[in-house]
């Protein structure tokens, strides 16, 4: 069994509480897990992953971290701060709006302001590239790694969104955290999903239980399910368990709207509803779309029982503007 070590970064456990007004409006029993309040570098789900990723980087005596992401990446913001705290240089390749293939290219991403402005504060060495595919973006990160290595750095490379077995482990632990906070089981957990480790970690934590974990995709590509299966497999290989099957990975592409990085009108409406009912903000790219899914699926009786909305944060992107 792998021995996971971690660098403490987050304020844990994050609160969990019932959404009384939302529950009343929907005629449901709806709760929220406040990973928007992880506290590290403005909060969000990525802090949990970074606790384990930074410990791995330190164990390898890394002097620099290299990663990549879209220009509004919440991961990059938090990664920059974590690297600074661990005394490492953090260099990332970014694009305004990466896409899967040219026929799926979309325009209108909110690429200015928000996280992009905070990256400098968090010590990120951003290298901006013209829009291309996600594969192009990863290739730029690889070149960046070679550049740093030529300059004598020992580089620890982190995949998009931090999604690796350690990041999955972070969310297996997060799932266990709620088992200590409440003495009942949820029927459903709804979370935003993109690079996948939040969703897959929670799905591993609750497999073989009454709780079903539903990932609401922020990306339009159906092929992403294959990446989720691969991620589950790589985690399972590390811990000596079996991976999640395609049927065990519950995933919806129905709430993406126009595309990755573009706010949806249902998400914007959901943001107003949650803010006015409970005083809780959502981000336009991930959590707003996931909460719009919750509202839609509960009101059409597709989600029943006790429901937990896993708030993944991302609030700085609320202040992003069209590019």
Which residues of the chain form contacts with ligand PLP (CB under 6 A)?
44-45, 74-75, 161, 163, 192-199, 283, 286-287, 312-314
Nearest to 118 by CA among 175, 42, 181: 42
Q: State in angstroms the smallest separation of the CB of 69 from ligand PLP.
A: 8
The structure tokens listed for 299 are 């009101």
Nearer to ligand PLP, 155 or 196 (CB): 196
Nearer to ligand PLP, 116 or 199 (CB): 199
Q: State in angstroms the smallest separation of the CB of 210 from ligand PLP.
A: 23
Position of tokens 């403490």?
A: 8
Q: State in angstroms the smallest separation of the CB of 196 from ligand PLP.
A: 5
Q: State in angstroms the smallest separation of the CB of 198 from ligand PLP.
A: 3
User: Which residues lie below 8 Å from residue 215, measured CB to CB, with a gap of 6+?
Assistant: 191, 192, 193, 196, 198, 199, 203, 228, 249, 250, 251, 252
Nearer to ligand PLP, 203 or 295 (CB): 203
Q: State in angstroms the smallest separation of the CB of 301 from ligand PLP.
A: 26
Report the alpha-carbon distance of residue 224 to residue 232 in Å, rounded: 13
The residue number whose beta carbon is nearest to ligand PLP equals 314
| Distance (Å) of CA 85 to CA 79, 89, 106, 297 | 10, 10, 36, 41
Q: State in angstroms the smallest separation of the CB of 24 from ligand PLP.
A: 26
Report the alpha-carbon distance of residue 129 to residue 303 in Å, rounded: 41
Q: State in angstroms the smallest separation of the CB of 149 from ligand PLP.
A: 26
Nearer to ligand PLP, 153 or 283 (CB): 283
Nearest to 252 by CA among 281, 280, 271, 228: 228
Query: Within the chain, what is the greatest distance between any pair of CA atoms?
Result: 60
Return the ∠ at Cα 172 (arms to 52 and 235), rounded to 5°: 70
Nearer to ligand PLP, 252 or 312 (CB): 312
Angle between helices 165-181 and 46-59 (to 10 degrees): 130
Report the alpha-carbon distance of residue 187 to residue 303 in Å, rounded: 9
Q: State in angstroms the smallest separation of the CB of 216 from ligand PLP.
A: 9
User: Which residues lie below 8 Å from residue 299, measured CB to CB, with a gap of 6+?
Assistant: 26
User: Which residues lie below 8 Å from residue 11, measured CB to CB, with a gap of 6+?
Assistant: 37, 38, 39, 40
Nearer to ligand PLP, 77 or 148 (CB): 77
Nearer to ligand PLP, 153 or 162 (CB): 162
Position of tokens 């029993």?
A: 29
Nearer to ligand PLP, 145 or 313 (CB): 313
Nearer to ligand PLP, 28 or 115 (CB): 115
Q: State in angstroms the smallest separation of the CB of 45 from ligand PLP.
A: 5
The DSSP element (H or E) to which 113 belongs, if any, is strand 112-113
């Amino acid at each position: 069994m792998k021995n996971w070590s971690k660098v403490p970064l987050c304020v844990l456990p994050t609160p969990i509480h019932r959404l009384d007004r939302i529950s009343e409006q929907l005629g449901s029993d709806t709760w929220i897990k406040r990973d928007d309040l992880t506290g590290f570098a403005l909060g969000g789900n990525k802090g949990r992953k970074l606790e384990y990723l930074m410990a791995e980087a330190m164990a390898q005596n890394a002097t620099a971290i290299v990663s990549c992401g879209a220009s509004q990446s919440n991961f990059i913001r938090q990664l920059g701060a974590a690297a600074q705290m661990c005394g490492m240089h953090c260099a990332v390749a970014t694009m305004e709006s990466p896409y899967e293939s040219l026929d799926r290219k979309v325009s209108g991403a909110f690429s200015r302001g928000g996280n992009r402005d905070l990256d400098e504060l968090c010590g990120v060495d951003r290298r901006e590239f013209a829009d291309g595919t996600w594969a192009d973006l990863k290739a730029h990160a690889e070149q960046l790694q070679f550049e740093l290595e030529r300059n004598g750095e020992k580089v620890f490379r982190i995949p998009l969104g931090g999604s690796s077995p350690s990041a999955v482990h972070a969310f297996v632990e997060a799932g266990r955290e709620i088992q200590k906070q409440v003495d009942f089981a949820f029927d459903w957990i709804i979370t935003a999903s993109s690079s996948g480790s939040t969703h897959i970690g929670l799905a591993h934590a609750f497999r073989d239980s009454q709780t079903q974990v539903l990932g609401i995709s922020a990306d339009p590509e159906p092929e992403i399910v294959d990446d989720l299966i691969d991620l589950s497999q790589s985690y399972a290989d590390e811990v000596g368990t079996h991976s999640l099957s395609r049927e065990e990975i519950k995933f919806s592409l129905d709430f993406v709207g126009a595309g990755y990085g573009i706010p949806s009108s249902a998400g914007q409406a959901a943001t107003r509803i949650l803010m006015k009912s409970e005083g809780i903000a959502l981000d336009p790219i991930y959590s707003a779309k996931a909460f719009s899914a919750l509202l839609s699926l509960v009101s059409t009786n597709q989600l029943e029982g006790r429901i937990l909305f896993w708030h993944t944060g991302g609030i700085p992107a609320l202040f992003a503007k069209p590019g």
